[in-house]
């Protein structure tokens, strides 16, 4: 499998990149005025100089910046992500707690966007410039242009306040303790609105890409051949066009995996979900360097993994990629 060696080589090349990113983020955050103690003072609403001095010593901020960086990298080499100053827990634990809701939300909304983007993209491409195409493209544009916080809030107003069908926020109902299937159903109910809010924005992108790439492939010679040999339109689309038109979609998924771990600060805030997006935002505001670097590190790892999988998928969809290398 040549593709494996290739992907493996890319994997190895990404390790220096990872370190450069981490050092970059570390230095960038040094340029932001204020440190985690200032941020903490801001949050407490007051404090005196003695308290601040004590806290700086407590968080190890009395060391010089190169020393702090060296300490951090040395810990990282030993796979220790350090201690979070906001959470008072190891960073690895904090991230692990936030990972499941983030992955759940992101997989759900990306799958939603991918599936419906594909279906609507195909419909739009087959009826190009007729009313279904115009309708789908216009709706896609509207979803794309609508800010997600507005979308989310309107969804809450309609479905939670007026209709009272769905919960307005949170990950699960804390009023009663649920287990097994009931808990799963409860969490699923809580995730419907955020998934839709986030998914509709992604949907527009997938829809446009799918439509464009369908149109391109539909004009290729082999499609004419397929039609000429008497296949009906549905067989042409499913058997010949779709597979080739899917390549750009797969590329897009690979690219968006990066944003996936970053989560969505806006949707997580509106629906009060404990995701990684909010965690990252909070770590910047609170100048919690360890947590932020930890998130960057984990996100980078995930992007590398997903891209590896995407490479393999390419080979599956288009055998020429594997053959030519």
Partner 1 sequence: MDLTRLEINRRTALLTSAAIAANVINPMRAFAQETPRKGGVFNVHYGAEQRQLNPSIQASTGVYIISGKIQESLVDLDADGKPVGVLAESWESSPDGKTITFKLRKGLTWHDGKPFTSADVEFTAMNMWKKVLNYGSTLQLFLTAVDTPDPQTAVFRYERPMPLSLLLRALPDLGYISAKHIYENGDVRQNPANLAPVGTGPFKFVKYERGQYIIADRNPDYWRPNAPYLDRIVWKVITDRSAAAAQLEAGELQYCPFSSLTISDMARLSKDKRFIVTTKGNEGNARTNTIEFNFRRKELSDVRVRRAIAHAINVPFFIDNFLGDFAKLGTGPIPSTSTDFYPGAGTPQYPYDKAKAAALLDEAGYKAGPGGTRFSLRLLPAPWGEDISLWSTFIQQSLSDVGITVEIVRNDGGGFLKQVYDDHAFDLATGWHQYRNDPAVSTTVWYRSGQPKGAPWTNQWGWEDKQVDTTIDNALTELDPAKRKALYAEFVKEVNTELPVWMPIEQIFVTVITAKARNHSNTPRWGSSSWHDLWLSA
| Footprint on this chain of partner 1 (rule: CB under 8 A) | 32-36, 38-52, 54, 58, 85-88, 94, 97-98, 149, 152-153, 156-157, 160-161, 164, 167-171, 174-175, 269-272, 274, 278-279, 282, 284-287
Question: Which tokens hold the place of 106?
Answer: 């992101």
In whole angstroms, how close is the CB of 58 to partner 1 at the nearest point? 6
CB of 164 to partner 1, least distance (A): 7
102 or 137: CB nearest partner 1: 102
Quick one: 7 or 270, whose CB is closer to partner 1?
270
**DSSP string over 18-41:** HHHHHHHHHHHHHHSSS-HHHHHH
**Cα R_g (the chain), whole angstroms:** 24
> At its nearest, how many Å lie between partner 1 and the CB of residue 280?
12
d(CA 255, CA 324): 23
In total, the chain counts a number of residues equal to 325
- Nearer to partner 1 (CB atom), residue 126 or residue 287: 287
Residue 153 vs 223, nearer CB to partner 1? 153
Q: How far is the CB of 202 from partner 1 (least distance, A)?
A: 21
Q: How far is CA 166 from CA 101, 151, 161, 171, 271, in A?
A: 18, 15, 9, 12, 12
Smallest gap from Cβ 50 to partner 1, in A, equals 5
d(CA 203, CA 140): 7
- What's the CA gap between 131 and 115, in Å, rounded? 22
Nearer to partner 1, 32 or 323 (CB): 32
């Amino acid at each position: 499998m040549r593709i494996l060696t290739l992907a493996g080589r890319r994997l190895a090349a990404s390790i220096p990149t990872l370190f450069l990113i981490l050092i970059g983020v570390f230095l960038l955050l040094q340029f932001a005025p204020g440190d985690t103690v200032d941020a903490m003072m801001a949050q407490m609403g007051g404090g005196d100089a003695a308290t601040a001095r004590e806290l700086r010593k407590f968080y190890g901020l009395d060391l010089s910046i190169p020393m702090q960086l060296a300490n951090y990298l040395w810990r990282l080499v030993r796979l220790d992500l350090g201690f979070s100053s906001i959470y008072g827990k190891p960073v690895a634990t904090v991230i692990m707690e936030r990972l499941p809701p983030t992955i759940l939300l992101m997989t759900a909304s990306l799958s939603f966007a991918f599936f419906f983007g594909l279906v609507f993209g195909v419909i739009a491409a087959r009826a190009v410039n007729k009313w279904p195409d115009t309708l789908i493209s216009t709706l896609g544009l509207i979803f794309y242009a609508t800010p997600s916080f507005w979308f989310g809030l309107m969804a809450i107003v309609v479905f939670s306040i007026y209709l009272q069908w769905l919960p307005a926020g949170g990950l699960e109902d804390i009023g009663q303790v649920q287990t097994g299937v009931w808990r799963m159903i409860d969490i699923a109910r809580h995730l419907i609105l955020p998934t839709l809010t986030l998914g509709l924005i992604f949907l527009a992108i997938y829809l446009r890409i799918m439509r464009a790439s369908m149109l391109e492939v539909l004009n290729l010679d082999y499609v004419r051949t397929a039609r000429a040999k008497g296949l009906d339109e549905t067989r042409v689309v499913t058997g010949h066009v779709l597979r080739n038109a899917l390549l750009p979609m797969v590329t897009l998924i690979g690219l968006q995996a990066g944003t996936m771990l970053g989560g969505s600060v806006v949707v997580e805030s509106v629906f009060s979900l404990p995701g990684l997006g909010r965690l990252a935002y909070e770590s910047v505001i609170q100048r919690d360097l360890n947590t932020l670097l930890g998130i960057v590190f984990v996100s980078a790892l995930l992007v590398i993994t997903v891209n590896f999988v995407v490479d393999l998928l390419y080979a599956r969809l288009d055998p020429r990629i594997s053959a030519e290398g």
